[in-house]
Amino acid sequence: MESRIDNELIAIGKRLRQLRKHRNLTQLDLEVASGVPNSDISRIENGKKNIEVITLIKFSIALKVKMMELFNYEGKLPK
C-alpha cells in the first residue's frame, strides 16, 4: 500500500508541475496565487509532501482548472 501512496503523490506532483508550467507560472507565481508556500509547492511537485484537500482546491483555483484536472495524469492540458 505504501508504494501506491508514494506513486499517487508523485503523479499528483508531476501533474501539478505540468499544469503550472502550462500556465507559464513559476513556483513563486503559484505561491502568490494560491497562498501555498513555495517550499511546500516544491515538495508537493517532487512527491515528498502529503497534500490536504484545501491545498488541492487552492491550486485548482490558482491554475483555473477543475479539481479533476489535478488527477487527470494522462489527460490533455486544459485551455
73: three-class secondary structure by DSSP: coil
Whole-number pLDDT of residue 1: 64
Dump pLDDT digits (tens) for 27-65. 999 999 999 999 999 999 999 999 999 999 999 999 999
Q: How many domains does the chain divide into?
A: 1
Do the domain assignments include residue 76? no
Please report, for residues 3, 12, 13, 55, the alpha-carbon distance to residue 66 in angstroms, rounded to integers and kept in the order given: 27, 14, 16, 13
Query: Whole-prediction pTM value?
Result: 0.92
- Domain containing residue 6: CATH number: 1.10.260.40
**Is residue 53 in a domain?**
yes
* 12-31 per-residue burial string, b: 16 or more CB within 10 A, e: under 16: bbebbbebbeebebebeebb
Does residue 74 lie in a domain region? no
**Average pLDDT along the chain:** 95
54 lies in which domain range? Answer: 2-64
Question: What is residue 57's predicted lDDT score, i.e. its pLDDT?
Answer: 97
Give the pLDDT score at 78.
Answer: 84
